[in-house]
Amino acid sequence: QSALTQPASVSGSPGQSITISCTGTSSDVGSYNLVSWYQQHPGKAPKLMIYEVSKRPSGVSNRFSGSKSGNTASLTISGLQAEDEADYYCCSYAGSYVVFGGGTKLTVL
Amino acid sequence: EVQLVESGGGLVKPGGSLRLSCAASGFTFSSYSMNWVRQAPGKGLEWVSSISSSSSYIYYADSVKGRFTISRDNAKNSLYLQMNSLRAEDTAVYYCARGDPYSSSPIHFDYWGQGTLVTVSS
């Protein structure tokens, strides 16, 4: 049950777009279209932003989008806003369990 | 409105036990799989355990297998986590999270509680 690999940090200016990568293996990300992404502000509970690779829950801005290629999933945030500054975690089903990434701190400059 | 409220956290000595509870409201609890996810101080998220809607399917992370037991009471809209043989590395905020209504396996988590802190220290 090894963790998925995410960059420790990314940054961008307001209005720009950023992409966070999430690399797994052929046993998790590469085998299932069941990747999800969570946003977590300091001291708060995580919030589901993307599920099943690219689906957005009701109420989540369409500035957030997800994709997958091979063993790597990606979260793209367009039109960066100050409120997007948070930690982001990817998660993948791996056959009877899920594995999270180590998290990426997004800084809005 | 979906609400998940955890309780039962606290300070416990290594080797001790603790039972966490999660009270659910605002949705048909008996239709959803439920999960525990933890976060050590300053660290990332770690999935701990999942239970299907009827308790027929139960899954554990390797790190807690044999020490933790997940259960639920659909009549009381409640989820539980019995934690035995606790270790320092179990210190974390424990979140209760709702799973997918169409899968007995953990897939994604659409609602989370605010968490309860478990500290294992002598």
Contact of A52 with chain B, judged by CB distance below 8 Å, is answered with: yes
Residues of B with CB below 8 A from A104's CB?
none
Interface residues of B toward A, Cβ cutoff 8 Å, are: 37, 44-47, 50, 59, 61-63, 95, 105-115
Contact of A45 with chain B, judged by CB distance below 8 Å, is answered with: yes
Dihedral sign, Cα of residue B50, residue B59, residue A34, residue A1:
positive
**Residue A33 above 90 pLDDT?**
yes
**Residue A2 above 90 pLDDT?**
no
Q: Which two tokens stand for residue B49?
A: 């355990």
- B23-66 per-position pLDDT tens digit: 999 999 999 999 999 999 999 999 999 999 999 999 999 999 99
- A64-92 per-position pLDDT tens digit: 999 999 999 999 999 999 999 999 999 99
What residues are paired with A34 via a beta bridge? none
Question: Are the beta carbons of B113 and B80 closer than 8 angstroms?
Answer: no
